[in-house]
Every structure is written in structure tokens, then in C-alpha cells.
Amino acid sequence: MNAYDEYMQGIVKPMRSELTNAGFKELVTPEDVQDHMATAEGVSLIVINSVCGCAAGLARPAVIAAVEELETKPNNLVTVFAGQDQEATATMRGYFEEVPPSSPSIAIWKDDQLAYFIPREQIESNSMETIKDHLSGVLTQIVSS
């Protein structure tokens, strides 16, 4: 590993652990993504994480708060890190090619298809509370249907 990679790993470690400490499983290789997508049952909440400010101040806190307040939670909480685990992120994005790549973003996967997607544009233009409430409402509908 070169000095740049080592530096970036140190920078993003707290950004990764914010989600993993909240129960998200990090998928860091294409094989991790493929294994999850091939075997996951029920609803998967997928966070495409990022180093940007809207991930730190909006996406991650909103996702964590939404999951905490749900009575019935998604079966699977997973995350890939755009810009860091590039192959894993590209593999995950390949499952929902119908939406343009954006990070951060939030995908809900159910019954082997994309059930809902929140792109960066809907994250950076809203408050954390608005994103949390939106995601909670959508997850409640999808998880209970």
C-alpha cells in the first residue's frame, strides 16, 4: 500500500465505522456484493457511502436515525464506499443500472429488484430530518408490503 492509500484509509475509517457501528455490513469487494445480492432475503437497505459533506451531515445520520426509529427493520443493512472500494461500488451499481450513479445515495432492494432509490440530488437539497422522514416512510411501506 502506498502512502496515499494509507492516508485515505485513515481519513475514511470514521466514515465507514459510522455505518458499521449502526449495524451495517460493509461490502468491500465485488465478491462481497455478489454474495450478498445472491443470498439476501427480504429487504436490503443499501447505502452508497461517500467522503463528501452531504454524506457526513445528511445521508449517514438520516439513514441511521431512520433505521433506529423503525418498528420493522429491513432484513439487511449493507454499504459500499464510493471512491474507496471502487470495484465493489461498481458491482453494486450494476444491480440498478436504470438509475445514474450518485454518491451518496440510498437504495432499497426487494424481491431481486430495485424497489426505491434516493439519489444525491435528493440528499444534498434537503435537511437531515426530511431525508430521515422520507426514508422511514418508504421503508415502512416496502418492509410491510
- What would the pLDDT profile of 70-100 be if each residue is shown by its tens digit? 999 999 999 999 989 999 999 999 999 999 9
Selection from 29, 50, 141 nearest residue 104 by Cα: 50
Catalytic-role residue among 52, 67, 77, 115: 52
Band of residue 11 on the pLDDT scale cut at 50, 70, 90: confident
pLDDT tens-place string over residues 90-126: 999 999 999 999 999 999 999 999 999 999 999 999 9
Cell (9 digits) for 120: 444525491
- Is the pLDDT higher at 12 or at 124? 124
What pLDDT is attached to residue 1? 73
Q: Is there a catalytic annotation at residue 54?
A: yes
Catalytic-role residue among 54, 64, 80, 139: 54
Q: Is the pLDDT of residue 53 over 90?
A: no
**Alpha-carbon separation of residue 106 from 1, 5, 44, 117 (angstroms):** 30, 26, 10, 6
Selection from 9, 38, 8, 22 nearest residue 78 by Cα: 22
Mean pLDDT over all residues of the chain? 95
The CATH number of the domain covering residues in 3-144: 3.40.30.10
The length of the chain in residues reads 145
